[in-house]
Structure 1
Amino acid sequence: MSKKAVIIGSGIAGISASIRLAVKGYEVEVFEANPFPGGKLSEIEIKGYRFDAGPSLFTLPEQVEELFLLAGKNPKEFFEYIKLPVACNYFWEDGTRINAFAEVDKFADEVERKLGEPGSHISESLRQSAFIYEHLAPLFMHRSLHQIQTWTNPDALKSYLKMGKLGIFSTMNEANEKLFDNPKLVQLFNRYATYNGSNPYETPATLNIIPHLEFNIGAYFPKKGMHAITQSLFQLSKDLGVTYHFDQKVEEVLVENKKAIGIKVRNEHIHADLVINNMDMVNAYKSILRKQKQPKLLLNQPKSSSALIFYWGIKRKFPELDLHNIFFSDNYLEEFDHIFKKGSIYHDPTVYINITSVYKPDDAPADCMNWFTMINVPNNQGQDWDKLIAEAKKNIIHKLNRILKTDVEPLIEVEEILDPRKIEIKTSSAQGALYGNSSNNKFAAFLRHANYSSSIKNLYFCGGSVHPGGGIPLCLLSAKIMSKMIEE
């Protein structure tokens, strides 16, 4: 008789966990409070425009492919993607524009030609990024930091000898200022702190691992959009026999004698051999685990930044814009001070625009574009968001008008807004933080919840609020680490 596992939440990590457990022979049921799977990795459709609602960058596609291979299927038959020739387009107020080409030599030439920065500095930066990845990825991304064998394996022993070169003792900004002469290039590489909701002036330089993923390995785009990751894995899990229960909010994790025995949903007790929580860790302890011992140190950690997103249907094409576009603030330090210290939005925010219709034309009507227009903002601490949103929209439009030499507002045909309040409600993310606890100190990696409960047997955790962190690849890896624990 097969063992039964229940999974709370159908974010990308929850779906991944369901696949891995089903392959191992478990009977798997997933309970989701929303009427759809995917969590943040969902989509929005408005009057002929389609938007990927959440994560917009796709790296390490092999983490998705591996799940199909585990199920004995050819990934290419179910999920297709392309490698991007340009990782991102960058714009500044003074008219400077940089195309971050995927080919490192081409990117280096672009930087040297437009910024006067020696192209060798790009090569050296990406060499250092690869070095950090080589020594830290096996330790931090593919293993639990909460098991002794992680710290005694050969990969760990090799990394101990390189600690001084891994960026642990300096901030991202300090490291980038040593690498680059031009402040614009420092700013460009500081931006990678935002990939996990952190502050480049506080987060350790170990996060300079991220450019390696984007340039040395590559950035990609699923041919059917980012939501295709959710759709393809959701279908795979169902093909493996996983059962989903939507619009069913879990009320409690049932625990007897310090052992998880199931969940309570709609006053019904559903028993299971394993309980896997894919819900935000903080809100899980406040709600479904409220009767259990609380990990106060972890719960009280500062949270990551959030986002304010305007989904705009634009009735015009802009040939200078690509899939990923960044319009930088002229004062990056002040912008991050507002986000993390003042709990507000700077009047000159850095604006990110993701336009999937560049590669998937049917995401917008003919001669139109779907602009996923986002700025980094503080998490929800009770601010007057209606006032902040109105001011931010005005400032974003004025900024884009100046840089693109246009008038954006009359071009906005449809609009939907996602702010930290809605993110918290929609995805149960504590304070609307996108990545759980922030990474603004050198010990941040150790201040994430483990992929298992140390006090409740048979209770496991996966998703962006626990180890190894937020973002699609790390969420998928959290499910992988967790499933290995169950197997062991």
Structure 2
Amino acid sequence: MHSLTLGTHTFDFDRTLLQCPGYSTKCFELAGLTPSDYFQFQRLSKHTRHHFSNGSMLDSEDSLDSAADAISRFAGKKDAKQFKKYMKRTSRLFHTASASFFPRTFRSPLDYLSPELFSALLKVKPLQTMHRFHASTFDDQRLQQMFDRYATYIGSSPYSTPATFSLISYLEWADGVYYTKGGNAAIADGLEKAALDLGVRFYKNTEVTEILVEQRRAVGIRTDKDTETADHIVLNGDLLTQFPSLVEESLRPRFTNRRAESTEASISAFVIMAALDTRLPQLKHHQVFFSSDYKKEFQELFAHNQYAAEPTIYISNSSYTDSSISPDGDNLFILINAPSLPGGVLTASEQAAYRDTIYDLLEEKGIFIRPHLVHEKIITPTNLAQDYYAFRGSIYGAASNRRRDAFLRPYNESADISRLSFTGGSTIREAAHLWSCSAAAKQPELF
């Protein structure tokens, strides 16, 4: 949640795509604050344009009825009816998970030993892959590909990850997509302002070098400047890199270095931030240009740990909605799924070559960037590993391709050290996120 400026163009360091604004506002309400005093959200109309390899195109719609009508024109009446059934199924997935999983904080294996929980688990399709679920739902392969893409929201492959995570599509199609005015960084700025209003102290430009442990209790931290005592510590860095880095292995026997290193990493990203001297009329706020062979793309990323020869290309153009953050032309955040390290390592010449491949593919689709390019910055998996200590340069820490990693992620409380809690991408973090969503969002009418 930070921004980067190239000339007069401001970029978010991520997609400006927000689901469930209730997640961001809930903590303000719990603290007795008014969220709108700190940031504002805007629901986007027809937020995403989906481009397919045969030249066809489908826009997201503002309501489920409008979406069904658009799908009927795009793929036929049968798949439009299937879309309605699909939304009801994913709605049940979401609400079952909301009632049974999301409010829980998992601290030990005993938290899974509940007949009610086991029954609920069987209802959220843990044994079927996302792709198989979509292939059995839609005849049109383009729709299968479009809904399979939600596996990438958790850094995984639709051909491996459980169908449970199809509930993400329900959130996007039923509740919508939002933009934070000023960009995602406005959320971080709002959180900081609220924290300061509540008396929180920040130590900026200060690196934690060790979590201090005495008698199996976290008692403080050591930084590159000083030592601080604490009653409780929340570690929100990448668990797979930071727990091993900050706590001696002998103090965490149930989270060994070997366990961390054996985890399958999620996908990473190859990002081009392209500042243009014009606005391209073909572009919406969000767009996806799908590859012609989705299965091959994910095999290259996960099975072969290499860049896809013909990748799916995502472009966020937040200046479409908010021209003030990039007044002189589009601010294109171009994101391509990339392999984690070591496959994600690229030399300078290889970066340039892959960037040119992306620009070439976009020109085939009528999107000409090079003639209008005034500034450019490339981010690779190596940058994510070095600058953010991301596990093998991945975006989401552990992938969810294996059921163990999907459902048995590290707990939110340390099993070895009391007064130490974890949050972030490699933990069971969906609980707090989606529970806040379900508590704050009003259930839409499902046809």
Instruction: Report the residue type matching 2:52 in the other structure.
Output: W
Which residue number in structure 1 is paired with residue 444 of structure 2? none
> What SS class does the counterpart of residue 439 from structure 1 fall into?
coil
Cα displacement string for residues 290-327 of structure 1 (whole angstroms, at most 9, x for unaligned residues):
34225133542111000011000122222232111000
> What SS class does the counterpart of residue 136 from structure 2 fall into?
helix
> What SS class does the counterpart of residue 101 from structure 1 fall into?
coil
Which residue number in structure 1 is paired with residue 370 of structure 2? 409
- Distance change in 2, residues 1:218/1:150 (3 Å): farther
After the TM superposition, which residues 321-470 of structure 1 pair with which residues of structure 2 at under 5 Å, given as runs? 321-366=283-328, 368-381=329-342, 383-386=344-347, 387-404=349-366, 406-469=367-430
Q: Is the 8 A contact 1:464 1:474 kept in 2?
A: no
- Aligned partner of 2:182 among 224, 228, 251: 224
- Distance change in 2, residues 1:65/1:265 (3 Å): same
Deviation for aligned residue 1:163 = 4.5
Cα displacement string for residues 445-468 of structure 1 (whole angstroms, at most 9, x for unaligned residues):
343211111111111111222112
- Distance change in 2, residues 1:84/1:274 (3 Å): same
- Aligned partner of 1:172 among 130, 136, 141: 130
- Distance change in 2, residues 1:399/1:468 (3 Å): same
Structure 1 alignment gaps of length 5 or more? 1-40, 478-488
After the TM superposition, which residues 18-417 of structure 1 pair with which residues of structure 2 at under 5 Å, given as runs? 41-116=1-76, 118-146=79-107, 151=112, 157=116, 160-161=118-119, 163-266=121-224, 268-291=226-249, 292-294=251-253, 295-296=255-256, 297-366=259-328, 368-381=329-342, 383-386=344-347, 387-404=349-366, 406-417=367-378
- Distance change in 2, residues 1:286/1:151 (3 Å): closer
Q: Is the 8 A contact 1:92 1:403 kept in 2?
A: no
TM-score if structure 2 supplies the norm length?
A: 0.91
Q: Is the 8 A contact 1:462 1:475 kept in 2?
A: no
> What SS class does the counterpart of residue 126 from structure 2 fall into?
coil
Deviates more, 1:441-450 or 1:187-196: 441-450
Q: Is the 8 A contact 1:171 1:205 kept in 2?
A: yes
TM-score if structure 1 supplies the norm length?
A: 0.83
Q: Distance in 1 between matches of 2:335 and 2:12?
A: 12
Q: Distance in 2 between matches of 1:370 and 1:55?
A: 12
Q: Distance in 2 between matches of 1:47 and 1:476?
A: 38
Cα displacement string for residues 121-148 of structure 1 (whole angstroms, at most 9, x for unaligned residues):
1111111111100111333333123357
Q: Is the 8 A contact 2:344 2:382 kept in 1?
A: no
Which residue number in structure 1 is paired with residue 443 of structure 2? none
Q: Is the 8 A contact 2:423 2:429 kept in 1?
A: no
Q: Is the 8 A contact 2:47 2:284 kept in 1?
A: no
CA-atom RMSD in angstroms:
2.2
Q: Percent identity?
A: 27
Instruction: Report the residue type matching 2:20 in the other structure.
Output: L
Q: Is the 8 A contact 2:26 2:436 kept in 1?
A: no
Which residue number in structure 2 is paired with residue 22 of structure 1? none
Deviation for aligned residue 1:388 = 4.2
Structure 2 alignment gaps of length 5 or more? 438-447
Instruction: Report the residue type matching 2:295 in the other structure.
Output: L
- Distance change in 2, residues 1:55/1:465 (3 Å): farther
> What SS class does the counterpart of residue 287 from structure 1 fall into?
helix
Q: Distance in 2 between matches of 1:384 and 1:144?
A: 36
Q: Distance in 1 between matches of 2:105 and 2:302?
A: 28
**Aligned length in residues:** 431
- Distance change in 2, residues 1:324/1:313 (3 Å): same
Q: Is the 8 A contact 1:91 1:328 kept in 2?
A: yes
Deviation for aligned residue 1:475 = 11
Deviation for aligned residue 1:74 = 1.7
Instruction: Report the residue type matching 1:391 in the other structure.
Output: A
Q: Is the 8 A contact 2:289 2:313 kept in 1?
A: yes
Instruction: Report the residue type matching 2:236 in the other structure.
Output: N
Deviation for aligned residue 1:343 = 1.1
Q: Distance in 2 between matches of 1:145 and 1:299?
A: 22
Deviates more, 1:218-227 or 1:348-357: 218-227
Instruction: Report the residue type matching 1:188 in the other structure.
Output: M
